[in-house]
Structures are given as C-alpha cells and as structure tokens.
Amino acid sequence: MPPAANGKDPVMEIEVHWSGAAPARVGALYQDAGGSVFFQYDPHWRAGRRDLSPVYLPNSTVGAVRTPTPEFGELHGCFRMSFRIGGANA
C-alpha cells in the first residue's frame, strides 16, 4: 500500500474494480490511522479513457486524494453510492 496523501501509512485498503465488458482494476481506497479516506487510481486505468467521476475524480487525478466534498462524508460520491446499493461486492 502506498502512503496516503497525508504521509501516514494506510491501515485499510479496498481494491476498486470495473466489472464491465473489459474488467479491470480501477484503483484503491485507503484509510489511514486517523480515519481519513483516500482514493488512488491504478496506473493502468489512468492510461485509459474512463473517468469514475469527470468532475471530482477525473482520470488525470494523480496520487492518493481525499474527497473534495467532505461535508457529504469521507467517501467520494461514486463510492458512497456503490456501497449503499451493492454492498462491498459492488
């Protein structure tokens, strides 16, 4: 696991995968010891053309980043919906 953007070692990692026509690893969510959650794209995914969220998580995002809208929770919106709808296997 890479260090989170705040320099702390992550204590939890959840891999994010695309299950469409061409399944692929999108990246990972990390949580540090302080409870902050970060997302980081996989380099192979970034080489493609799909954005998870063109506004908040464009494919050009580099490194581990926190949500730009923390007032709505620790997770980026696209992940909040996935966990809410399909659980951890979404």
For 49-74, how does the pLDDT look when each residue is reduced to its tens digit (9 = 90+)?
888 888 888 889 888 888 877 777 77
β-strands 10-18, 24-32: how paired? Answer: antiparallel
**pTM of the prediction?**
0.74
Q: What is the mean pLDDT of the chain?
A: 79
β-strands 37-41, 24-32: how paired? Answer: antiparallel
Q: Where are the domains of the chain?
A: 10-89
Classify residue 46 as exposed, middle or buried by CB count within 10 Å of its CB (0-12, 13-18, 19+): middle
